[in-house]
Amino acid sequence: RKEVEQDPGPFNVPEGATVAFNCTYSNSASQSFFWYRQDCRKEPKLLMSVYSSGNEDGRFTAQLNRASQYISLLIRDSKLSDSATYLCVVLNSPNDYKLSFGAGTTVTVRA
Amino acid sequence: DVKVTQSSRYLVKRTGEKVFLECVQDMDHENMFWYRQDPGLGLRLIYFSYDVKMKEKGDIPEGYSVSREKKERFSLILESASTNQTSMYLCASSLLVYEQYFGPGTRLTVT
């Protein structure tokens, strides 16, 4: 079983729509969670951390559900520039050096 | 702004050749990483270095070696390239493990 699993999509949504997708992780002891964003033919970049209480960054909302071992990302009022692949990332312990990356969920926002 | 550069964007090598991929970062980061990214598999860690001359194996070190003689430079070496090493190779550096800054990647084709 993969450590981090994501629905690859693609999620095709019109501008202005809300899109949400999940990521599941297999290690119940995992400590920290993040979303990275990777534009087409570009390198991944940290989008946001995911806190236990949930957090927002502008139009982006991240949630963590430890009981069911998944994290989610919701994008409100989608823009064309939100088109990207979103990578779910897990850090198993604060002393760990290794991030576990999901294969990514592709979102395409159309005009 | 952190800048991570990689020596080549595209590289074509023959089976059995020795291949060097270079990565340089300009932010004095302690940590540097080499990943490969393949469709459907996400980013997989090949090697990690937390200091000059220090290295740790990642998930898939077989067929690869690394060198870190200077803090800013981390090299990935394919001792004898094989077709199954055709991939996108991404270098990253970080101060904090979870906030990694990636280079633009090298797309390596082994024929």
User: Looking at the predicted structure, is the pLDDT value of residue B1 above 90?
Assistant: no
Contact A98 B48 (CB under 8 A): yes
High-pLDDT (> 90) share of chain A, %: 85
Residues linked to residue B67 through DSSP beta bridges, in sequence order: B75
High-pLDDT (> 70) share of chain A, %: 100
| Residue-level pLDDT at A53 | 87
Measured at the alpha carbon of residue B11, what is the angle toward residues B10 and B15, in degrees to the nearest 5?
150
CB-count burial class (<10 Å; 0-12, 13-18, 19+) for A14? exposed
**Residue in chain B nearest A46 by alpha carbon:** B99
Place of tokens 């982006």: A60
A24 CB neighbours in chain B (<8 A) are none
Contact A99 B97 (CB under 8 A): yes
Rounded-to-integer distance, Cα B94 and Cα B84, Å:
28
A91 CB neighbours in chain B (<8 A) are 97-98
| Residue-level pLDDT at B13 | 98
Place of tokens 């390239």: B81
Which residue, among A4, A30, A26, has the nearest Cα to A92 in the 3D structure? A30
Beta pairing, strands A60-65 & B106-110:
unpaired
Do the beta carbons of residue A8 and residue A51 sit within 8 Å? no
pLDDT per residue over B48-106, tens digit each? 999 998 999 999 999 999 999 999 999 999 999 999 999 999 999 999 888 999 999 99
Q: How far is CA B77 from CA A103, B11, B24, in A?
A: 25, 13, 15
pLDDT per residue over A40-94, tens digit each? 999 999 999 998 888 999 999 999 999 999 999 999 999 999 999 999 999 987 7
Residue among A1, A96, A97 with most chain B CBs within 10 A, to mutate: A97
pLDDT per residue over B2-38, tens digit each? 699 999 999 999 999 999 999 999 999 999 999 999 9
| Residue-level pLDDT at A51 | 86
Give residues 23 to 62 of B whose Cβ lies within 8 Å of A: 31, 35, 39-45, 48, 50, 56, 58-59
